[in-house]
Protein backbone atom coordinates (compact mmCIF):
# COMPACT_ATOMS: atom_id res chain seq x y z
CA UNK A 1 0.00 0.00 0.00
CA UNK A 2 1.11 3.55 -0.66
CA UNK A 3 0.75 6.43 1.76
CA UNK A 4 -0.03 9.76 0.11
CA UNK A 5 0.76 12.25 2.83
CA UNK A 6 -0.30 15.85 2.18
CA UNK A 7 2.54 18.31 2.32
CA UNK A 8 2.71 21.01 4.94
CA UNK A 9 5.24 23.53 6.13
CA UNK A 10 7.85 21.79 8.22
CA UNK A 11 7.53 18.30 6.70
CA UNK A 12 8.49 16.68 3.41
CA UNK A 13 7.64 12.98 3.83
CA UNK A 14 9.39 11.60 0.71
CA UNK A 15 12.82 12.66 1.96
CA UNK A 16 12.87 13.42 5.66
CA UNK A 17 9.57 13.53 7.55
CA UNK A 18 10.71 16.47 9.59
CA UNK A 19 12.74 18.53 7.11
CA UNK A 20 11.30 21.89 6.19
CA UNK A 21 10.34 22.38 2.55
CA UNK A 22 11.52 25.98 2.73
CA UNK A 23 14.53 25.36 4.90
CA UNK A 24 17.20 27.99 4.43
CA UNK A 25 20.90 27.44 5.09
CA UNK A 26 20.56 29.37 8.33
CA UNK A 27 17.76 27.15 9.69
CA UNK A 28 18.93 24.62 12.26
CA UNK A 29 18.38 20.96 11.27
CA UNK A 30 15.48 19.02 12.74
CA UNK A 31 16.59 16.34 15.17
CA UNK A 32 14.58 13.29 16.18
CA UNK A 33 16.78 10.55 17.64
CA UNK A 34 17.75 10.55 21.30
CA UNK A 35 21.41 11.02 20.40
CA UNK A 36 20.62 13.97 18.13
CA UNK A 37 18.36 15.61 20.70
CA UNK A 38 21.22 15.56 23.19
CA UNK A 39 23.18 17.68 20.71
CA UNK A 40 20.57 20.45 20.52
CA UNK A 41 22.50 23.71 20.61
CA UNK A 42 19.69 26.27 20.88
CA UNK A 43 16.10 26.65 21.99
CA UNK A 44 15.17 27.60 18.41
CA UNK A 45 16.47 24.28 17.17
CA UNK A 46 14.51 22.42 19.85
CA UNK A 47 11.32 24.36 19.05
CA UNK A 48 11.64 23.62 15.33
CA UNK A 49 12.11 19.92 15.99
CA UNK A 50 9.09 19.83 18.30
CA UNK A 51 6.98 21.57 15.66
CA UNK A 52 8.18 19.14 13.01
CA UNK A 53 7.06 16.20 15.13
CA UNK A 54 3.67 17.86 15.62
CA UNK A 55 3.25 18.41 11.89
CA UNK A 56 4.27 14.83 11.17
CA UNK A 57 1.56 13.63 13.55
CA UNK A 58 -0.98 15.88 11.85
CA UNK A 59 -0.01 14.63 8.41
CA UNK A 60 -0.28 11.03 9.54
CA UNK A 61 -3.82 11.66 10.76
CA UNK A 62 -4.86 13.15 7.40
CA UNK A 63 -2.92 10.77 5.15
CA UNK A 64 -4.76 8.91 2.39
CA UNK A 65 -3.84 5.24 2.17
CA UNK A 66 -4.02 4.06 -1.42
CA UNK A 67 -4.82 0.38 -1.04
CA UNK A 68 -3.88 -2.11 -3.73
CA UNK A 69 -6.44 -4.62 -2.58
CA UNK A 70 -5.87 -8.19 -3.66
CA UNK A 71 -7.24 -10.03 -0.63
CA UNK A 72 -10.08 -9.07 1.71
CA UNK A 73 -10.86 -10.80 4.98
CA UNK A 74 -14.45 -10.75 6.26
CA UNK A 75 -15.12 -11.26 9.97
CA UNK A 76 -18.78 -11.93 10.75
CA UNK A 77 -20.48 -11.67 14.13
CA UNK A 78 -21.29 -15.20 15.37
CA UNK A 79 -24.60 -16.59 16.63
CA UNK A 80 -26.75 -14.69 14.14
CA UNK A 81 -27.80 -16.58 11.00
CA UNK A 82 -29.13 -13.46 9.29
CA UNK A 83 -25.56 -12.15 9.08
CA UNK A 84 -24.55 -15.26 7.14
CA UNK A 85 -26.81 -14.17 4.29
CA UNK A 86 -25.39 -10.63 4.46
CA UNK A 87 -21.90 -12.10 4.32
CA UNK A 88 -22.84 -14.01 1.17
CA UNK A 89 -24.26 -10.84 -0.37
CA UNK A 90 -21.08 -8.82 0.10
CA UNK A 91 -18.90 -11.78 -0.97
CA UNK A 92 -20.80 -12.16 -4.25
CA UNK A 93 -20.42 -8.43 -4.93
CA UNK A 94 -16.68 -8.47 -4.23
CA UNK A 95 -16.05 -11.54 -6.39
CA UNK A 96 -17.56 -9.70 -9.35
CA UNK A 97 -14.90 -6.98 -9.03
CA UNK A 98 -11.63 -7.83 -10.76
CA UNK A 99 -9.27 -10.35 -9.24
CA UNK A 100 -9.98 -9.81 -5.54
CA UNK A 101 -9.62 -12.87 -3.31
CA UNK A 102 -12.12 -13.02 -0.47
CA UNK A 103 -11.51 -14.85 2.82
CA UNK A 104 -14.42 -15.76 5.10
CA UNK A 105 -14.59 -17.67 8.38
CA UNK A 106 -13.77 -21.37 7.95
CA UNK A 107 -16.93 -22.23 9.91
CA UNK A 108 -18.94 -21.10 6.86
CA UNK A 109 -17.33 -23.66 4.57
CA UNK A 110 -20.08 -26.23 5.13
CA UNK A 111 -22.86 -23.78 5.95
CA UNK A 112 -26.05 -24.44 3.92
CA UNK A 113 -27.02 -20.78 4.40
CA UNK A 114 -23.75 -19.44 3.02
CA UNK A 115 -23.63 -21.95 0.13
CA UNK A 116 -21.13 -20.02 -1.94
CA UNK A 117 -18.36 -21.46 -4.07
CA UNK A 118 -15.77 -19.70 -6.21
CA UNK A 119 -12.08 -20.20 -7.08
CA UNK A 120 -11.25 -16.88 -5.41
CA UNK A 121 -13.25 -17.64 -2.27
CA UNK A 122 -11.01 -18.94 0.51
CA UNK A 123 -11.41 -19.49 4.24
CA UNK A 124 -9.45 -17.98 7.09
CA UNK A 125 -8.63 -19.54 10.46
CA UNK A 126 -7.31 -18.02 13.67
CA UNK A 127 -3.93 -19.59 12.98
CA UNK A 128 -3.73 -18.09 9.49
CA UNK A 129 -4.58 -14.61 10.78
CA UNK A 130 -1.97 -14.78 13.54
CA UNK A 131 0.85 -16.22 11.46
CA UNK A 132 0.25 -14.54 8.09
CA UNK A 133 -1.36 -11.12 8.58
CA UNK A 134 0.32 -9.88 5.40
CA UNK A 135 -2.04 -12.07 3.35
CA UNK A 136 -4.87 -9.59 3.92
CA UNK A 137 -4.96 -6.06 2.50
CA UNK A 138 -8.26 -5.09 4.13
CA UNK A 139 -10.51 -6.49 6.86
CA UNK A 140 -14.28 -6.03 6.82
CA UNK A 141 -16.29 -6.64 9.98
CA UNK A 142 -20.02 -7.35 10.00
CA UNK A 143 -21.25 -6.90 13.56
CA UNK A 144 -20.73 -4.57 16.49
CA UNK A 145 -17.80 -3.30 18.52
CA UNK A 146 -17.25 -6.79 19.92
CA UNK A 147 -16.50 -8.06 16.42
CA UNK A 148 -13.88 -5.33 15.99
CA UNK A 149 -12.31 -6.33 19.32
CA UNK A 150 -12.19 -9.91 18.06
CA UNK A 151 -10.15 -8.71 15.07
CA UNK A 152 -7.70 -7.06 17.48
CA UNK A 153 -7.36 -10.37 19.29
CA UNK A 154 -6.76 -12.24 16.02
CA UNK A 155 -3.97 -9.90 14.88
CA UNK A 156 -1.51 -9.70 17.75
CA UNK A 157 1.12 -8.00 15.61
CA UNK A 158 0.57 -6.11 12.33
CA UNK A 159 -3.10 -5.32 11.62
CA UNK A 160 -4.52 -4.61 8.13
CA UNK A 161 -6.86 -1.60 7.83
CA UNK A 162 -10.25 -2.46 9.33
CA UNK A 163 -13.53 -1.25 7.81
CA UNK A 164 -16.37 -1.88 10.27
CA UNK A 165 -20.01 -2.11 9.19
CA UNK A 166 -22.61 -1.50 11.89
CA UNK A 167 -24.63 -4.68 12.40
CA UNK A 168 -24.52 -4.94 16.18
CA UNK A 169 -25.81 -3.32 19.36
CA UNK A 170 -22.92 -0.88 19.91
CA UNK A 171 -21.46 1.50 17.37
CA UNK A 172 -18.42 3.40 18.68
CA UNK A 173 -16.15 1.62 16.19
CA UNK A 174 -18.67 0.65 13.50
CA UNK A 175 -19.32 3.81 11.52
CA UNK A 176 -20.35 2.38 8.15
CA UNK A 177 -23.94 1.40 7.36
CA UNK A 178 -24.27 -1.93 5.59
CA UNK A 179 -26.95 -0.73 3.16
CA UNK A 180 -24.31 1.59 1.65
CA UNK A 181 -21.58 -1.04 1.35
CA UNK A 182 -21.45 -1.01 -2.47
CA UNK A 183 -20.82 2.73 -2.68
CA UNK A 184 -18.46 2.75 0.30
CA UNK A 185 -16.46 -0.24 -0.90
CA UNK A 186 -16.16 1.21 -4.40
CA UNK A 187 -14.72 4.40 -2.92
CA UNK A 188 -12.23 2.49 -0.79
CA UNK A 189 -11.06 0.29 -3.66
CA UNK A 190 -10.76 3.14 -6.17
CA UNK A 191 -9.80 6.25 -4.18
CA UNK A 192 -8.13 4.96 -1.02
CA UNK A 193 -8.99 5.53 2.63
CA UNK A 194 -8.22 7.71 5.60
CA UNK A 195 -7.64 5.82 8.82
CA UNK A 196 -7.27 6.35 12.54
CA UNK A 197 -4.12 4.67 13.79
CA UNK A 198 -5.68 3.64 17.08
CA UNK A 199 -3.25 3.01 19.88
CA UNK A 200 -3.10 -0.45 21.42
CA UNK A 201 -1.38 -1.64 24.58
CA UNK A 202 1.22 -4.34 24.93
CA UNK A 203 0.41 -5.97 28.26
CA UNK A 204 2.69 -8.52 29.91
CA UNK A 205 1.86 -10.54 33.00
CA UNK A 206 4.88 -11.22 35.20
CA UNK A 207 5.28 -13.58 38.12
CA UNK A 208 6.88 -12.31 41.32
CA UNK A 209 10.32 -13.38 40.05
CA UNK A 210 9.89 -11.30 36.88
CA UNK A 211 9.27 -14.15 34.44
CA UNK A 212 6.72 -13.43 31.71
CA UNK A 213 3.55 -15.50 32.03
CA UNK A 214 1.64 -14.11 29.03
CA UNK A 215 1.62 -11.22 26.57
CA UNK A 216 -1.47 -9.64 25.02
CA UNK A 217 -2.25 -6.76 22.67
CA UNK A 218 -5.38 -4.89 23.78
CA UNK A 219 -7.44 -2.29 21.96
CA UNK A 220 -9.78 -1.16 24.76
CA UNK A 221 -8.38 -1.67 28.22
CA UNK A 222 -6.56 -3.71 30.80
CA UNK A 223 -8.59 -4.20 33.98
CA UNK A 224 -7.07 -5.41 37.23
CA UNK A 225 -9.83 -6.17 39.73
CA UNK A 226 -10.57 -8.19 42.85
CA UNK A 227 -12.45 -10.88 40.95
CA UNK A 228 -14.52 -13.16 43.25
CA UNK A 229 -12.67 -12.02 46.38
CA UNK A 230 -14.74 -10.14 49.01
CA UNK A 231 -11.75 -7.90 49.82
CA UNK A 232 -10.69 -4.70 48.07
CA UNK A 233 -7.51 -4.98 46.07
CA UNK A 234 -4.26 -3.38 47.17
CA UNK A 235 -2.60 -2.35 43.91
CA UNK A 236 0.68 -0.50 43.51
CA UNK A 237 0.83 1.70 40.40
CA UNK A 238 4.28 2.51 39.01
CA UNK A 239 5.19 4.85 36.16
CA UNK A 240 8.61 4.45 34.53
CA UNK A 241 9.78 2.61 37.64
CA UNK A 242 8.58 5.21 40.17
CA UNK A 243 5.72 4.54 42.56
CA UNK A 244 2.80 6.80 41.65
CA UNK A 245 0.17 5.65 44.13
CA UNK A 246 -1.24 2.67 45.98
CA UNK A 247 -4.89 2.01 45.15
CA UNK A 248 -7.29 0.42 47.59
CA UNK A 249 -10.26 -0.18 45.33
CA UNK A 250 -12.24 -2.80 43.51
CA UNK A 251 -9.75 -2.40 40.69
CA UNK A 252 -7.96 -0.20 38.16
CA UNK A 253 -8.80 0.40 34.51
CA UNK A 254 -5.89 1.22 32.20
CA UNK A 255 -7.60 2.32 28.97
CA UNK A 256 -6.59 3.44 25.51
CA UNK A 257 -8.36 6.41 23.87
CA UNK A 258 -10.51 3.86 22.05
CA UNK A 259 -11.38 2.22 25.37
CA UNK A 260 -12.34 5.54 26.96
CA UNK A 261 -15.92 5.00 25.75
CA UNK A 262 -16.13 1.52 27.28
CA UNK A 263 -15.63 0.34 30.88
CA UNK A 264 -13.59 3.43 31.76
CA UNK A 265 -16.52 5.67 30.85
CA UNK A 266 -18.88 3.72 33.13
CA UNK A 267 -16.39 4.10 35.99
CA UNK A 268 -16.24 7.89 35.59
CA UNK A 269 -13.29 8.22 33.22
CA UNK A 270 -12.97 10.98 30.65
CA UNK A 271 -13.70 10.69 26.95
CA UNK A 272 -10.49 10.77 24.89
CA UNK A 273 -10.35 11.34 21.14
CA UNK A 274 -8.67 8.41 19.32
CA UNK A 275 -6.14 10.78 17.73
CA UNK A 276 -4.84 11.71 21.21
CA UNK A 277 -2.00 9.49 22.36
CA UNK A 278 -2.68 9.07 26.06
CA UNK A 279 -3.12 6.40 28.72
CA UNK A 280 -6.21 6.71 30.89
CA UNK A 281 -6.08 5.44 34.49
CA UNK A 282 -9.50 5.11 36.12
CA UNK A 283 -10.16 3.55 39.55
CA UNK A 284 -13.09 1.22 40.13
CA UNK A 285 -14.91 2.14 43.36
CA UNK A 286 -11.84 3.50 45.22
CA UNK A 287 -12.03 3.69 49.02
CA UNK A 288 -11.21 7.40 48.97
CA UNK A 289 -12.81 10.63 47.81
CA UNK A 290 -9.71 12.04 46.10
CA UNK A 291 -8.73 9.33 43.60
CA UNK A 292 -9.74 11.00 40.35
CA UNK A 293 -9.15 9.56 36.85
CA UNK A 294 -5.94 10.77 35.25
CA UNK A 295 -4.45 10.89 31.75
CA UNK A 296 -0.79 9.94 31.34
CA UNK A 297 1.52 10.31 28.32
CA UNK A 298 1.77 7.31 26.02
CA UNK A 299 5.54 7.32 26.44
CA UNK A 300 5.20 6.12 30.03
CA UNK A 301 5.53 2.46 30.96
CA UNK A 302 3.06 1.53 33.70
CA UNK A 303 3.24 -1.35 36.13
CA UNK A 304 0.32 -2.56 38.24
CA UNK A 305 1.49 -4.86 41.02
CA UNK A 306 -0.50 -6.80 43.59
CA UNK A 307 0.98 -5.79 46.93
CA UNK A 308 2.49 -8.54 49.03
CA UNK A 309 0.42 -7.07 51.87
CA UNK A 310 -2.80 -7.58 49.92
CA UNK A 311 -5.40 -9.79 51.59
CA UNK A 312 -6.14 -11.70 48.38
CA UNK A 313 -5.01 -12.14 44.80
CA UNK A 314 -6.33 -10.06 41.89
CA UNK A 315 -7.43 -10.78 38.36
CA UNK A 316 -6.35 -9.18 35.07
CA UNK A 317 -8.60 -9.07 32.01
CA UNK A 318 -7.65 -7.94 28.52
CA UNK A 319 -10.43 -6.30 26.50
CA UNK A 320 -12.85 -8.10 28.79
CA UNK A 321 -12.12 -11.49 27.23
CA UNK A 322 -9.05 -13.19 28.68
CA UNK A 323 -8.69 -13.37 32.47
CA UNK A 324 -5.54 -14.26 34.37
CA UNK A 325 -5.14 -14.55 38.14
CA UNK A 326 -2.47 -12.33 39.69
CA UNK A 327 -1.03 -13.71 42.90
CA UNK A 328 0.64 -11.57 45.55
CA UNK A 329 3.76 -9.98 44.11
CA UNK A 330 2.67 -10.55 40.51
CA UNK A 331 2.39 -7.55 38.21
CA UNK A 332 1.30 -6.41 34.76
CA UNK A 333 3.29 -3.99 32.63
CA UNK A 334 1.46 -1.73 30.18
CA UNK A 335 2.96 0.33 27.38
CA UNK A 336 1.96 1.70 23.99
CA UNK A 337 2.13 -1.06 21.41
CA UNK A 338 4.29 -0.75 18.27
CA UNK A 339 1.37 -2.35 16.41
CA UNK A 340 -1.50 0.17 16.17
CA UNK A 341 -5.00 -0.74 15.04
CA UNK A 342 -5.92 1.14 11.81
CA UNK A 343 -9.65 1.75 11.34
CA UNK A 344 -11.06 3.30 8.18
CA UNK A 345 -12.69 6.68 8.84
CA UNK A 346 -16.20 7.27 7.53
CA UNK A 347 -16.02 11.08 7.89
CA UNK A 348 -14.05 13.86 9.58
CA UNK A 349 -16.57 14.05 12.42
CA UNK A 350 -17.24 10.33 12.92
CA UNK A 351 -15.98 10.36 16.52
CA UNK A 352 -18.30 13.18 17.58
CA UNK A 353 -21.16 11.68 15.60
CA UNK A 354 -20.55 8.43 17.44
CA UNK A 355 -20.53 9.84 20.98
CA UNK A 356 -23.54 11.99 20.16
CA UNK A 357 -25.62 9.13 18.78
CA UNK A 358 -24.55 6.49 21.31
CA UNK A 359 -24.12 8.57 24.47
CA UNK A 360 -26.35 11.55 23.63
CA UNK A 361 -23.34 13.74 24.43
CA UNK A 362 -24.51 17.25 25.35
CA UNK A 363 -27.97 16.57 23.99
CA UNK A 364 -30.40 19.04 25.58
CA UNK A 365 -34.00 19.85 24.80
CA UNK A 366 -34.32 23.40 23.50
CA UNK A 367 -36.75 25.75 25.24
CA UNK A 368 -39.92 26.18 23.22
CA UNK A 369 -41.76 29.53 22.87
CA UNK A 370 -44.60 30.08 25.31
CA UNK A 371 -46.85 31.08 22.42
CA UNK A 372 -47.41 27.39 21.72
CA UNK A 373 -49.80 27.31 24.69
CA UNK A 374 -52.08 30.01 23.25
CA UNK A 375 -55.47 28.92 21.93
CA UNK A 376 -58.41 30.39 20.06
CA UNK A 377 -58.64 34.13 19.56
CA UNK A 378 -55.55 34.84 21.68
CA UNK A 379 -53.42 32.71 19.39
CA UNK A 380 -54.85 34.38 16.26
CA UNK A 381 -54.27 37.86 17.65
CA UNK A 382 -50.73 37.00 18.71
CA UNK A 383 -49.81 35.58 15.31
CA UNK A 384 -51.27 38.65 13.61
CA UNK A 385 -49.32 41.13 15.73
CA UNK A 386 -46.14 39.04 15.89
CA UNK A 387 -45.63 37.41 12.48
CA UNK A 388 -41.98 36.62 13.22
CA UNK A 389 -40.03 35.64 16.31
CA UNK A 390 -41.43 37.85 19.11
CA UNK A 391 -38.07 37.89 20.88
CA UNK A 392 -36.50 39.42 17.77
CA UNK A 393 -39.28 41.50 16.22
CA UNK A 394 -40.46 43.27 19.38
CA UNK A 395 -38.65 46.51 20.16
CA UNK A 396 -40.53 47.02 23.41
CA UNK A 397 -42.19 44.82 25.99
CA UNK A 398 -45.22 45.42 28.19
CA UNK A 399 -43.29 43.92 31.09
CA UNK A 400 -39.64 44.95 31.23
CA UNK A 401 -37.57 45.35 34.40
CA UNK A 402 -34.28 46.06 32.67
CA UNK A 403 -34.70 49.83 33.29
CA UNK A 404 -34.93 49.40 37.05
CA UNK A 405 -31.16 49.64 37.43
CA UNK A 406 -31.11 52.24 40.20
CA UNK A 407 -32.39 49.90 42.86
CA UNK A 408 -32.86 46.29 43.77
CA UNK A 409 -36.20 45.03 45.00
CA UNK A 410 -35.90 42.90 48.14
CA UNK A 411 -38.12 40.02 49.16
CA UNK A 412 -40.15 42.22 51.59
CA UNK A 413 -40.94 44.68 48.73
CA UNK A 414 -38.60 47.32 50.20
CA UNK A 415 -36.00 48.97 48.02
CA UNK A 416 -32.34 48.61 48.90
CA UNK A 417 -29.88 51.31 47.74
CA UNK A 418 -27.47 50.33 45.01
CA UNK A 419 -24.39 50.68 47.20
CA UNK A 420 -25.66 48.15 49.77
CA UNK A 421 -26.86 44.96 48.16
CA UNK A 422 -27.55 41.51 49.52
CA UNK A 423 -25.02 38.82 48.76
CA UNK A 424 -27.16 35.96 47.53
CA UNK A 425 -24.54 33.42 48.52
CA UNK A 426 -25.48 34.28 52.11
CA UNK A 427 -28.79 36.05 52.93
CA UNK A 428 -27.38 37.95 55.93
CA UNK A 429 -24.31 39.36 54.19
CA UNK A 430 -24.16 42.76 52.51
CA UNK A 431 -21.72 44.20 50.03
CA UNK A 432 -20.82 47.89 50.29
CA UNK A 433 -19.40 49.77 47.34
CA UNK A 434 -16.66 52.25 48.33
CA UNK A 435 -16.31 55.74 46.89
CA UNK A 436 -13.72 54.71 44.29
CA UNK A 437 -15.97 51.97 42.97
CA UNK A 438 -18.94 54.34 42.95
CA UNK A 439 -16.96 56.89 40.94
CA UNK A 440 -15.81 54.23 38.48
CA UNK A 441 -19.41 53.15 38.04
CA UNK A 442 -20.50 56.76 37.48
CA UNK A 443 -22.67 56.85 40.62
Q: What is the CATH number of the domain that holds 182?
A: 3.40.50.10330
| Domain-located, residue 350 | no
Contacts of 374 (CB under 8 A, 6+ apart): 382
Query: Same domain for 193 and 228?
Result: no
pTM for the full predicted model: 0.78
CB of 326 closer than 8 Å to CB of 313: yes
Q: Do 224 and 265 sit in the same domain of this protein?
A: yes
pLDDT-derived band at 363, boundaries 50, 70, 90: confident
Using the predicted structure, report yes or no on whether residue 76 has a pLDDT greater than 80: yes
User: Does the pLDDT at position 178 exceed 90?
Assistant: yes
**Of the residues 165, 198, 231, the one at which a domain ends:** 198
- Whether residue 345 lies inside any domain: the answer is no
**CB count, 10 Å around CB of 177?**
13
For residue 114, is it within any domain? yes
Q: Do 328 and 382 fall within a single domain?
A: no
Q: Which of 181, 198, 215 is the last residue of a domain?
A: 198
- How many domains, in total, are found in the chain? 5
- Quote the mean pLDDT of the chain: 85
**Residues noted as catalytic:** 145
Q: For the residues 310-338, what does the mean pLDDT come to? A: 96
Residue, of 366 and 15, whose pLDDT is higher: 366
Band of pLDDT at residue 435, cut at 50, 70 and 90:
low
DSSP 8-state symbol, 230:
S
Nearest residue to 248 via CA among 281, 283, 276: 283
Do 219 and 165 lie in one domain? The reply is no
Whether 190 is covered by a domain: the verdict is yes
CA–CA gap between residue 255 and residue 162 (Å, rounded):
20
- Residues 220, 288, single domain; the answer is yes
Q: What share of the chain is helix, strand, coil (3-state, %, to 5)?
A: 25, 30, 45
CA-to-CA distance for 235 and 224, rounded, in angstroms?
9
SS3 state at 42: coil
71 closest CA partner among 130, 124, 162, 135: 135
Same domain, 116 and 156: yes
| Residue 174 CA, distance from chain mean position | 13
Are residues 305 and 232 part of one domain?
Answer: yes
Sorting pLDDT into bands at 50, 70 and 90, what band is 188?
A: very high
53 with 95, same domain: the answer is no
Residues 234 and 329 in one domain: yes
What pLDDT is recorded for position 25? 41
347 in any annotated domain:
no
Q: Which domain holds residue 247?
A: 207-338
pLDDT at 410 over 90: no
Q: How many CB atoms lie within 10 A of CB 220?
A: 28
Contact by Cβ (8 Å): 173, 343: yes
With a cut of 50, say whether residue 91 has pLDDT above it. yes
Domain limit, last residue, from 65, 93, 111: 65
Within this chain, do residues 214 and 273 fall inside the same structural domain, yes or no?
A: yes
CA pseudo-torsion sign 18, 23, 28, 29: positive
The whole-number pLDDT of residue 5 equals: 43
Is residue 356 domain-resident?
Answer: no
Q: Is residue 304 scored above 90 in pLDDT?
A: yes
Nearest to 358 by CA among 187, 175, 189: 175
Instruction: Indicate the SS3 state at residue 425.
Output: coil
Task: Confirm whether 357 is domain-assigned.
Answer: no
Do residues 212 and 161 share a domain? no
pLDDT at 434 over 70: no
Are 60 and 73 part of one and the same domain? no
- The closest of 438, 411, 409, 441 to 427, measured between CA atoms, is 411
Which residues partner with 4 through β-bridges? Answer: 64
Return the top range by mean pLDDT from 33-42, 278-287, 391-400, 430-439: 278-287
Q: Which residue has the higher pLDDT, 199 or 433?
A: 199
> CA 41, CA 155: separation in Å to the nearest integer?
43
Report if residue 421 sits inside a domain.
Answer: yes
Amino acid sequence: MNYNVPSSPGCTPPSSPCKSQTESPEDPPLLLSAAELRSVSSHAQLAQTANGVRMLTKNLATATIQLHVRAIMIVTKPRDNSLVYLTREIVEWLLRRGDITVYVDSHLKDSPRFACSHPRLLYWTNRLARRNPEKFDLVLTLGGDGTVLHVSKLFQRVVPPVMAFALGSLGFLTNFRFEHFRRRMATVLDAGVKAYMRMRFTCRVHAADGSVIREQQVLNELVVDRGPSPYVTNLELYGDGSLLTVAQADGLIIATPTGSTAYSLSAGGSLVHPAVSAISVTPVCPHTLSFRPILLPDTMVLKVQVSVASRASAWASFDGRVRTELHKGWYVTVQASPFPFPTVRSSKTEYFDSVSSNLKWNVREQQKPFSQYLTGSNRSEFEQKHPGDPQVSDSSFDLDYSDDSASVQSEDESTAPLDTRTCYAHPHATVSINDDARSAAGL
